[in-house]
Each structure stands twice: as C-alpha cells, then as structure tokens.
Amino acid sequence: MSQAIEYEKIGDVAVLAANNPPVNALGLEIRKGIINGLESAEVDGAKAVLIYGKGRTYFSGADIREFGKPPVRPFLPDVCDRIESSPLLVVSALHGAALGGGLEVALSSHYRIAIPTTRIGFPEVNLGLIPGAGGSQRLPRISGVSAALEIITSGRHVLAPEALELGILDEVQDGDPCEIGLSYVQALLQRSAPRRPISELPSPAGIDFDAACEAMLKKGRGQLSGAVAVRAVQAACEADSFAAGLARERELFLELMGTDQRKGLIHAFFAERAVAKLPELKGVEPRILHQVGVVGGGTMGAGIASAVLLAGLPVVMLEMSHEAAYAAKNRIASNLNGAVKRGKLSQSDFDEILQDRLVLAIDYGALSNVDLVVEAVFEDMEVKKQVFSSLDAVCKPGAVLATNTSYLDINEIGATTSRPQDVIGLHFFSPAHVMKLLEVVVADETSLEVMATGFALGRRLGKVSVRAGVCDGFIGNRILNTYRACADHMVLDGATPYQIDKALTDFGFAMGPFAVSDLAGLDIGWAMRKRKRAEGLNPQARDSTYADKLCEAGHFGQKTGRGYYVYEPGKRTGTPNPDVMSLVEADRDAQGIVARSFSDEEILRRYMASMVNEAAKVVGEGIASRPLDVDVTLLFGYGFPRFFGGPLKWADLQGLPGILEDIRKWSNEDSFFWQPAPLLEQLVSEGKTFEDLNAHN
C-alpha cells in the first residue's frame, strides 16, 4: 500500500512527499507520516527536510470528514509544533491550494516557497470554525494583525504574489514543487540560513478587538466563526506566551467544533458537491456542447446568453426583430461590462465576445447547428409551444431543447415536439449570469443523456446544478410559494410585514420575505395569484387581497419606488410604506378576522415549519432526489443562511418531532395549509432524520 507520506533522502535533504489524493487532506495517516518522516530525517543525519504534495496540491486542510468524530492523535497542532521544533531546517514547497491546516503546516515550516499559481488561505470560517493548529497565532506574527484578521475572517484564497508581499511566502518560483523546493533548500544550506520558528517572533501589536468582534458579528448576520476568529487573533497579541495563545486558540476552536453552525456549514460543503452526483447519471456521457442558442433576449435570455458567453461558448441569440436583437445585445453588453468592472473579464475578451462569439439572428434557421438551445420567452404555454415546434423543425438531431420556464409543465411542452427525449428544463435564477443555482428539470420523457448534458452545461457555467422533477415551481419556487403564503397568513392574522421581515433577518436571512418581494417585483406574485385563482383555488385555501390592492395602485416594489416599503431614489433599503397596514386591516375586516399578536419566536416557528413541511413533500414526491438537494436549492437560490446548512439540515438540528407536533397543532386551525407531509410523519415515527435519506442515496 502506498504511504500517505513518502520518505526519500536526497543528499543531505530528507524529502516528505504527501500522497493522499485528491487534495492531500491531513488525515490520520498523513499526520503520523509527517512525524515519522521527521524522526527518520533526524536519525538519518539529514541537514534539512523538504515537505511538498504530490498530485494537484499541497495539503488542502484537515480532513473535514473526521470532524464530529472523536479526534485521534497525533492532533494537527502537535504535528505543527513537531515540525517547527525540529532541529533540522524544514522547508515547505507549495502548489495548488494550501488551505487551513495545510497553511498551518507550511507556517510551522521554517521557510516557504511556492509556484506562482498557488493559493493559500484559512477557509475555516466557512466551515463554522477557526484555524485550530496555530494559524491564528503564527499568521499575525509574520503578516501583522490587520492582514491576518482579514485573511482569517474572510476565508478568502490569497494568490501567491500577494502572499509573498505579506511575508507568508519567502519565494515564488515556477517549476515542479519538488524541484524548486530542493534547489531552495540547497541555497538555504549553502548560506547557512537559520531555522526560523515563527513562534519565537514577538507578539504583534493589537487593535481594538472588541470593535472588530462587533463588526464581524454584524457582518456575519449571526454566524459566530468570524467573531471568534477575532478573539483568537487577540490571544496572539495579548496572551502571556505563544503556548498560552495556542491554548486559547484550541479552546475557541473546540467550542466552535461543538456548534450547530459547524454541522450546518460542513453539511453545506459536502452537499454542494454531492448534489451533482446522481446514481442514474453514473457512466452516462453528456452530449458535446460547442454552440448554444438562446431564444428570447429579455432579462433572463440576455442573462443566460451572458453566462454562456462568459464560459467561453459561442451563442446564437434569436429575437423577433432586429431592434429586439440589438436590445438583447445591449443587455448582454451591460452584463459583460459588469464582469469587466469586477475584474472577471478583460476588455479584449469583452470585445471578442461581442464581435465574434455572439451572433444575433431573427430567423430560426440560424439555430440549425446549435448543440443546445434554451428558450426564455414570455411565460405563456401557447407561446412556449410555438417556440418548441419551431425548434423541433430546425434544430439538428440530438440538439438539446431546453426551456427556462419557472413553473410551466415541461411534459406538455415536450409533447409538442417529435423528440420529447431531448426536451429538458434549465431553470436559471435572475440575474442568470450571477446566481449560481440552476434547476435541471427532468420531464417524464427526458433521456439520461440529455439530463447529463444539462449538468455538463451547469458545470461549464460554474453553476450549482440541482435535479428537479416537474411540478408547479419545481423545488425552489414551490417551497417559496408555501412559506410566502405562511407569511401572508400571519399578516392577515395580526402580524405586520415589517415584524416578519425583522424576525427573518434576525434569524440570518439577508432580507425578509416582504423585502424580497419588493426586490423581485410585486407584479410577479400578483400574476401568480391571478393565475392560480383562474385555475381554480381550492375553496379551503386562504386568500388575501391586500397585496393585490398594492399592485392595483401601481406599487410593484423597488422598481416603482413603493411597495411594502418606500424607497428613496437610488436607495435599495426602504422604510415601511404607511399605506400598507390600512390595506391589511381592510382585508382582515372583509374576512372577519380579529387580529392577534405574534411573538417573533412564533413567526419563525411557523415560517420555518411551513418551509420544512413543503420541502418534505417535495422530497417525498421525488421532485427533489434527496433532502440535500432541497438544502442546496434554498442555499444557492433563496438566501437561506448557510450556517444552518439548509432548511432540512436545520430541521434535523432542531429535532423533527417538535416540528411535526407544531404542524399537527396548527392543522386544527387550518387543516388545508398545515397538512403534515407523509415523509415527515414517517421519519418521526421511525426516529430518523432527513440526513438518513441523504446517506442512503
């Protein structure tokens, strides 16, 4: 069996090569291998030790899969102390992503060299943690408190040139990590370079840590890790010794390790990767994608075209007229301009895209050679059917015919073509070139190859793709409609939109549901309510008119300057609209409702229970493959606070029996809205969790 750390003595240098694909995570065998390697080097009479990673990267951190399990010695802090205290000169040669514990191992070495494409960083805060092996004590000593705080609390990746400037790296040189490492060690030995234990450097000067902690708590909207990281860095400045600082770091680290936020964030990390791994796609080859067509150049169509163009694929944009086609091109240019301003696109690439990679067309024939086409025309079934019959007539055999519809029945759309097996839903979220979520909606006839092609396009566009089944709203919007209705019911019964919004921002959402409606446009909800009423509302379903009255007065939210909130020109946050509550009171009167008060706690329980209950139905009906697919959808498309891991991870952490008990209690007041999801009842009766279902798939 190959060793996790391979040992070889080359001249005076003992080389420790990590061989633990895919990311050289610092699991138990690696940790033991480093210590054994150091002992061998010291026995073998080596003068120096070189540590580097084989494969794609230097150590990319502790093995996250070990978290939550009983820790096994040697612990990483002990490995780092052993490296730093070695009597030999220890050098690390970095490449790929030297992150978390990986960077801590590098900082315990006496010198660090890296190739130019190397990224370093402390992403622990994104896992609900802080560096737990001396990173919060060593980094401030070499790069200063402010730079260290920014790197540790942001979790961002720092590129090699910046890391060199900050003193984190000593050398940046192109080449093979082992080779540049060996030549660097030789150079150090020739000039009798001394060992340089960072722990022996003086404590850095402090800052106002209380203010920094307060600011981090506010910025994290309730996430703890950033604020706790401030306290760990504070220990680097104020503890009596390096050892005391390490002890304080360890104490804070272990406290965070025990939190639900750590469980939620690590669930999110693995779910984001698992969501694209579907058993039915195993061994299924996606079709080749060389050119994409987009039908409809409005906000969504232009956004989708922008995303495809930014991913390096050519696009044929079909509109109904030259004017509409040019208007679409201008929208795309504006989107790409944003990418240039954000430094994501060079000006020359911008020019090349608009001159060569984007082709405008007003005739369907221009789509005859595309490998995949996405329609993003008006959300009307008859219009979609016309588009698909035209596509069916002109697109080459094997072309994937995709619709961006957010709720229409894709089975019905596919049935209008001769090739329903090539029809799929690709539900982008606005702005389509920015939002990461993509719902890949699989109709009854959609072939596995076409589904795999939808996921391949998502990967190419840098999206987080989730498989969804066909229903009204697929996964995200269906669940949104339910918890949004719950909020409306609470307003009718006595709460205010503003109290509900605050309860949800206190919970961790960036915005509450009513502020979100103002942002998206109140006319969207209005159209949906009118559609559902036209389709025939269930007589048991509660309805409300106060929002309609707001729309009838032309108030659609931010885009008209007034909705639930009033927006000063150019401002994105508003103040409560004084006209709203009179509309609510009129609605209550008309329905004979006597308003009652709601506590913030009850608002949150009801709102979250409605979300969990609908999500359980979505999983139970197979619209979502697993609970993790719902979690990823709500995290990446609906602003669910990531430190809870998603609504179903949150439900597991709260305890499913309590949630079901609430739902059963509230079903006495409204048996239609609060129908317990069969899957939720089943899990509770079996004493299981949603996580148990994730593990099974």
User: Hey, which residues are catalytic here?
Assistant: 104, 124
Q: For ligand T1G, which residue of 1, 2, 22, 348 counts as binding (CB under 6 A)? A: 22
Q: For ligand T1G, which residue of 14, 30, 38, 76 counts as binding (CB under 6 A)? A: 76
Least distance to ligand T1G, CB of residue 621, Å = 27
Q: Assess 158 for contact with ligand T1G (CB under 6 A).
A: no
Strand partners, 193: none
Query: What contacts 428, CB < 8 A, 6 or more positions away?
Result: 300, 303, 304, 307, 376, 404, 435, 438
Strand partners, 467: 440
DSSP 14-43: EEEEE--TTTT-B-HHHHHHHHHHHHHHHH
Least distance to ligand T1G, CB of residue 34, Å = 14
Q: For ligand T1G, which residue of 15, 23, 256, 410 counts as binding (CB under 6 A)? A: 23
Q: Which is nearer to ligand T1G, 76 or 367 (CB)?
A: 76
Q: Assess 62 for contact with ligand T1G (CB under 6 A).
A: yes
The Cα angle at residue 102 between residues 96 and 104, in degrees rounded to 5:
135
Least distance to ligand T1G, CB of residue 23, Å = 4
Q: How many CB atoms lie within 10 A of CB 271?
A: 23
- Sign of the alpha-carbon torsion through 55, 56, 60, 65: negative
135-143 vs 145-154: helix crossing angle, rounded to 10: 140
Q: Assess 522 for contact with ligand T1G (CB under 6 A).
A: no
Here the tokens at position 556 are: 């659609």
Stretch that binds ligand T1G, among 21-29, 318-326, 539-547, 667-675 (CB under 6 A): 21-29
Query: What contacts 388, CB < 8 A, 6 or more positions away?
Result: 375, 401, 403, 413, 414, 416, 417, 423
Q: Which is nearer to ligand T1G, 46 or 76 (CB)?
A: 76
3-state secondary structure of 690: helix
Q: Which is nearer to ligand T1G, 101 or 637 (CB)?
A: 101
Q: Assess 104 for contact with ligand T1G (CB under 6 A).
A: yes
Rounded distance, CA 124 to CA 224, Å?
12
- Mask 612-631, x = binds ligand T1G (CB under 6 A)? --------------------
Rounded distance, CA 634 to CA 639, Å?
7
Strand partners, 635: none
The pairing of strands 13-18 and 89-94 is: unpaired
Q: For ligand T1G, which residue of 35, 64, 215, 566 counts as binding (CB under 6 A)? A: 64
- Mask 108-147, x = binds ligand T1G (CB under 6 A)? ---------------xx--x-x-xxx-x------------
Q: Which is nearer to ligand T1G, 270 or 526 (CB)?
A: 270
Stretch that binds ligand T1G, among 62-70, 318-326, 506-514, 584-592 (CB under 6 A): 62-70
Q: Assess 587 for contact with ligand T1G (CB under 6 A).
A: no
Footprint of ligand T1G on 272-291 (CB under 6 A): 273
Q: For ligand T1G, which residue of 4, 17, 52, 60 counts as binding (CB under 6 A)? A: 60
Footprint of ligand T1G on 79-98 (CB under 6 A): 97
Here the tokens at position 606 are: 């009801």
Instruction: Write out the residues near ligand T1G by the rule CB under 6 A.
Output: 22-23, 25, 60-65, 76, 97, 99-101, 104, 123-124, 127, 129, 131-133, 135, 270, 273
